[in-house]
Structure 1
Amino acid sequence: MGLDGSLVVRACARAGLPWEDALIVSAHELRRAVNACRAHPKVAVLTVPGAGPAELARALFPQTPRSFVVCEDLGGPDERVVRVRPAEATTRPWNAPQVVLVLDERRPPDPPGWIARPPGPDGWALDDFAGAALAPQARAFVLAGLGPRTGDLVWDIGSGDGSIAADCARFGAAAVAVGPDAPSCELIRAAVRARRVRVAVSRGTLPSVLDHLPDPDAVFLGAAEAASARACAARALHRLVATADEERVPELLDVLDEAGFRAEAATLHASPRPARPSVAVVWARRAVPEPSPLPAERARPVERTPPL
Structure 2
Amino acid sequence: MLTVVGVDGGPLPPGAVEALARAQVVTGAGRYLHLAPDTAQRVEMGPVDPALDALAGRRGVVLASGDPGFFGIVRLLRARGHTPVVLPACSAVQRAFARIGRPWDDVAVVSAHGRALGPAINVCRARAATAVLTAPGAGPAEIGAALTGWRRTLVVAEDLDGPHEQVTTVTPEQAAARTWRDPNVVLCLRDPDAVPGAGWLAGGGWAQGADGWALPEPAFAHRDGMITKSEVRALALARLAPAPGRLIWDVGAGSGSVAVECARLGAAVIAVERRPDDADRIRANAAAHDVDVRVVQGAAPAALADLPRPDAVFVGGGGPDVVAAVVGAPRVVVALAALDRLAPTRHALRGHRVDGVQLAASRLAELPDGTVRLAATNPIILLWGEAT
When normalised by structure 2's length, the TM-score is 0.68
- Tell me whether 1:14 sits opposite 2:99 in the alignment: yes
| Alignment match of 1:242 (pick from 312, 315, 334) | 334
Contact kept, 8 Å, 1:161 with 1:191, in 2: the verdict is: yes
Q: Which string of whole-angstrom CA distances, capped at 9 and with x for unpartnered residues, describes residues 142-176 of structure 1? A: 00000011111111112410000000110111111
Distance 1:109 1:29 in 2: 31
> In structure 2, what is the equivalent of residue 279 of structure 1?
380
Query: 1:70–1:97: 8 Å Cα contact kept in structure 2?
Result: no
1:38 to 2:125 alignment: yes
| 2:141 aligned to which of 54, 62, 69 | 54
User: Do structure 1's residue 125 and structure 2's residue 214 form an aligned pair?
Assistant: yes
- The 3 A distance-change label for structure 1 pair 227 and 90 is closer
Could you list the runs of 5+ residues in structure 1 that have no partner in the other structure? 288-308
Q: C-alpha distance in 2, partners of 1:228/1:281? A: 15
For 2:206 and 2:277, the matched residues in 1 are separated by 34
**2:311 alignment counterpart:** 217
The answer to whether the 8 A contact 2:92-2:185 is kept is: yes
Within-5 A mapping of 1:266-305: 266-272=357-363, 273=365, 275-287=376-388
- How far apart are the structure 2 equivalents of 1:119 and 1:249? 36
1:108, distance to aligned residue in structure 2 (A): 4.3
Query: What's the secondary structure of 2:188's corresponding residue?
Result: strand
What is the deviation of 1:7?
1.9
CA shift, 1:115, in A, is: 0.7
Secondary structure of 1:265 counterpart? strand
Report deviation, 1:2.
6.2
Q: Is the 8 A contact 2:252 2:300 kept in 1?
A: no
Q: Which residue of 2 aligns with 1:256?
A: 349
CA distance in 2, matches of 1:169, 1:32: 14
Distance 1:185 1:106 in 2: 26
Q: Whose Rg is larger?
A: 2
Residue 3 of structure 1 aligns with which residue? 71
Cα RMSD (Å) of the superposition?
A: 2.2
Displaced runs of 4 or more, over 4 A = 106-109
Distance 1:207 1:268 in 2: 27
What's the CA shift for 1:132? 5.0
Is 1:99 aligned to 2:185, yes or no? yes
**Residue 212 of structure 1 aligns to a residue in which SS?**
coil
Match of 1:180 in 2: 274
Contact 2:133 2:184 in 1 (8 A): yes
**What is the DSSP-based 3-state SS (H/G/I as helix, E as strand, rest coil) of the residue aligned with 1:252?**
helix
1:25 aligns with 2:110: yes
Q: What SS does the corresponding residue of 2:146 show, helix, strand or coil?
A: helix
Q: Residues 75 and 32 from structure 1, CA distance in 2 versus in 1: closer, same or farther, beyond 3 angstroms?
A: same
Partners of 1:109 and 1:120 lie apart in 2 by: 17
> Once the two structures are aligned, what percentage of the paired residues are identical?
40
Cα distance per residue 1:121-149 (max 9 Å; x no partner): 24232233273522212111100000011
Residue correspondence of structure 1 range 59-74 to structure 2 within 5 A: 59-61=146-148, 63-74=149-160
Cα distance in 2 for partners of 1:224, 1:65 equals: 28
